[in-house]
Structure 1
Amino acid sequence: MQLSWEDLRLFLAVYEAGSLSAAARALGLGQATLSRRMSEMESAVGEPLFVRGAQGVRLTAVAQRLLPSTQRMAEWASEASLSLCAPADRPAGRVRIAAPPGLAQSFLAPFAARLQQQYPELRLEVLAGEAVLNLSRGEADLSMRVMPPSDPELICLDQISGPIRVFAAPSYASSLRRPYGLADLRWISWAAPFEGLRMHQALVEAIPGFTPSFSADDYNVQYAACVAGVGALLVADIRHRYSQFERLLDLGLDLGPTAVGTMYLVCHRRQRQLPKVQAVIDALREELEWARQASAN
């Protein structure tokens, strides 16, 4: 089956507008013409693409499978237009980065300010969450994740590691009576549905009957609780340019040689060819190299 880019462009417009009438207005077409084109496309596919209702349209199962590829085609078409208008050293457009919330807040948000100075026409869109987005389906352009990719179409562009350490606010640290061990601390950890994450499981394995004193499903909430003196927190000690460790104390507890956290920078092979994505990759790799040098000194 061969689908033309023009038909796919119209299909995407209907999806984004939410109705045939709204899409027709946005495209400058008659609604009857657009409806006919979509019917012809559905005939070529062999199945309906939209369920039509009083409130507009929604995608069928086959259309949902078609949507990610169509969105990527639109992005490449936009990138082709931009490449003709913008100088090679001035990449432009949106780049989506998926990352855990803690890294998104402490690293990517301030990183965006530095990137903007270098490439004012680039726009970062940070997708913060613990779930690993699917780069093959185009859910993001880049990913910073705690596990290496297993998909052969994904490239690990860089990685950085640091020891997992126990941190606490000075107010809580001063209340502890020495000597103390892991089981003597009030712990901050993960709430449902993230009890399976590595940091939580490390505490479950190290402390019999482990129950956190405070839990949250967002790392930024955990960090705020730690700063407030609620308890201790496990953190991979990776000192990047924007680190906020100065607000916390390392309690000096040894978790063993295998207690290491690693962050991986991942991209799909096809996305790496986009100049705007490559510009962000280069900037991120410079930041990670800065962090490695800072740790070595």
Structure 2
Amino acid sequence: MTAPTNWDDLRLFLAVAEQGSLSAAARLLKLGQATLSRRMAEFEASLGEPVFERSTQGVQLTPMGRKLLPSAQAMAVWAAEAQVQHSGSRHASAMQGKVRVAAPPSIAYDFLAPMAADIRKAHPGLQIDVLSSVKLLNLSRGEADIALRTFAPQDPDLLCLDSISAPIKAYASHTYAQSLPAHYEAKDLDWICWAAPYDEVQINQELRALIPNFKAAFTSDDHNVQFAACRAGVGALLMAQVQHRYTQLGQLCALPLDFGPRAVGQLHMVCHKRTAELSPVVAVRAFISAEFAYMRTQQALHGIHLEPRAP
């Protein structure tokens, strides 16, 4: 196989991969579909194997296409960075590009989604792509630019740029809390938890360790559904006691249960070395770090003393 060196070919390949069809990519690129199809066929011939499987529904990446995609995405980011540097300005109006941030569903919902409005006000040329999943994405393969993770990275190519800790508390609707008997314990509550295939996450493990023969009252594989059930009064939900400015925990009340020193949530901002200093990534990192700093200030004001793990 001959290694591709033509950025223009990779740019066209990336457009087709992201748009999902030759026709959509051709419209985006302002090219004729026949021209784009011919260019992709020539590109595949230079590689010696196809990068797309074509069908009436669009295109799907082949194994070669999936292997090539992270490199093409990284080159697109660096091309945008070069354009910013060439313009001689890092002003907000010059900031362009997509920043993909991977995070657990609760963080994506309660933290990143509302923060995106402020990022876009400061940098309207940025596209924020939030990848909400319990699944761990691979930063080395370019599956995301920034990851918010509940544990520090071990890979030497990954940088832990900031960390925050928060106690794990039980939350419930005000109506549900008022229905509880006096002097209740964790075993007396109706618990909302993760369903399969995520039933081994930390929250579920904490409850199984705490309550003999634990059985959840309500489960879902979607955090939004869990939060909605909690808000509706189905039961209690374990979550980190976050103090950031975007939190929706004000819709619920914290129950006065002590889960001990083990019940501490960690959140680490992680980047790969090769992308950590790209201008769009740095811009988004700055917003996340500012909110982490705000949370630490709020914890100090409320007498919460939890040291994050060292990066």
- In the alignment, the residues of structure 1 paired with residue 236 and residue 192 of structure 2 have an alpha-carbon distance, to the nearest angstrom, of 6
Q: Shift in Å at residue 212 of structure 1?
A: 0.9
Structure 1 spans left out of the alignment, 5+ residues: none
Given the superposition, is the C-alpha separation of residues 177 and 11 from structure 1 closer, same or farther in structure 2, using an over 3 Å criterion?
Answer: closer
Q: Shift in Å at residue 46 of structure 1?
A: 3.9
- In the alignment, the residues of structure 2 paired with residue 178 and residue 18 of structure 1 have an alpha-carbon distance, to the nearest angstrom, of 57
Match of 1:296 in 2: 300
TM-score, length-scaled by structure 1: 0.87
The range that moved more, 215-224 or 9-18, is 9-18
Given the superposition, is the C-alpha separation of residues 56 and 159 from structure 1 closer, same or farther in structure 2, using an over 3 Å criterion?
Answer: closer
- In the alignment, the residues of structure 1 paired with residue 25 and residue 128 of structure 2 have an alpha-carbon distance, to the nearest angstrom, of 27
Given the superposition, is the C-alpha separation of residues 168 and 19 from structure 1 closer, same or farther in structure 2, using an over 3 Å criterion?
Answer: closer
Letter in 2 for 1:202: E
Q: Among 84, 87, 90, which residue is 2:86 paired with? A: 84
- In the alignment, the residues of structure 2 paired with residue 22 and residue 164 of structure 1 have an alpha-carbon distance, to the nearest angstrom, of 46
- In the alignment, the residues of structure 1 paired with residue 19 and residue 118 of structure 2 have an alpha-carbon distance, to the nearest angstrom, of 35
The range that moved more, 161-170 or 42-51, is 42-51
Match of 1:67 in 2: 69
Q: Shift in Å at residue 286 of structure 1?
A: 0.8
The secondary structure found in structure 2 opposite 1:134 is coil
CA contact (8 A) 2:22 2:33 kept: no
The secondary structure found in structure 2 opposite 1:273 is coil
The secondary structure found in structure 2 opposite 1:130 is coil
Q: CA RMSD in A?
A: 2.7
Structural mapping, 1:52-63, within 5 Å: 58-63=60-65
Match of 2:268 in 1: 264
Q: Among 202, 215, 218, which residue is 1:214 paired with? A: 218
Residues 22-81 of structure 1 show CA distances to partners (whole Å, capped at 9, x for unaligned) of 76784647947964x656654553434444566665433223211221222122213322
Match of 1:141 in 2: 145
CA contact (8 A) 2:22 2:36 kept: no
Match of 1:3 in 2: 4
Given the superposition, is the C-alpha separation of residues 251 and 62 from structure 1 closer, same or farther in structure 2, using an over 3 Å criterion?
Answer: same
Q: Shift in Å at residue 268 of structure 1?
A: 1.2
Residues 67-108 of structure 1 show CA distances to partners (whole Å, capped at 9, x for unaligned) of 221222122213322433472132232222112222222211
- In the alignment, the residues of structure 1 paired with residue 123 and residue 24 of structure 2 have an alpha-carbon distance, to the nearest angstrom, of 34
Given the superposition, is the C-alpha separation of residues 15 and 99 from structure 1 closer, same or farther in structure 2, using an over 3 Å criterion?
Answer: closer
The range that moved more, 121-130 or 270-279, is 121-130
- In the alignment, the residues of structure 1 paired with residue 192 and residue 119 of structure 2 have an alpha-carbon distance, to the nearest angstrom, of 33
CA contact (8 A) 1:145 1:265 kept: yes
Given the superposition, is the C-alpha separation of residues 250 and 49 from structure 1 closer, same or farther in structure 2, using an over 3 Å criterion?
Answer: closer
Match of 1:129 in 2: 133
Q: Shift in Å at residue 19 of structure 1?
A: 6.3
Letter in 1 for 2:284: V
- In the alignment, the residues of structure 2 paired with residue 248 and residue 216 of structure 1 have an alpha-carbon distance, to the nearest angstrom, of 19
- In the alignment, the residues of structure 2 paired with residue 127 and residue 210 of structure 1 have an alpha-carbon distance, to the nearest angstrom, of 31
- In the alignment, the residues of structure 2 paired with residue 211 and residue 253 of structure 1 have an alpha-carbon distance, to the nearest angstrom, of 19
- In the alignment, the residues of structure 1 paired with residue 144 and residue 13 of structure 2 have an alpha-carbon distance, to the nearest angstrom, of 21
Q: Shift in Å at residue 275 of structure 1?
A: 0.7
Match of 1:96 in 2: 100
Is residue 113 of structure 1 aligned with residue 113 of structure 2?
A: no
Is residue 164 of structure 1 aligned with residue 168 of structure 2?
A: yes
CA contact (8 A) 2:98 2:127 kept: yes
Residues paired across the two proteins, number: 296
CA contact (8 A) 2:84 2:90 kept: no
CA contact (8 A) 1:86 1:92 kept: no
User: Which contiguous aligned blocks of 4+ residues in structure 1 show a shift greater than 6 angstroms?
Assistant: 19-25
Q: Shift in Å at residue 274 of structure 1?
A: 0.9
CA contact (8 A) 2:148 2:269 kept: yes
Match of 1:176 in 2: 180
- In the alignment, the residues of structure 2 paired with residue 22 and residue 230 of structure 1 have an alpha-carbon distance, to the nearest angstrom, of 44
Q: Among 221, 242, 255, which residue is 1:238 paired with? A: 242
Letter in 1 for 2:89: P
- In the alignment, the residues of structure 2 paired with residue 226 and residue 53 of structure 1 have an alpha-carbon distance, to the nearest angstrom, of 44
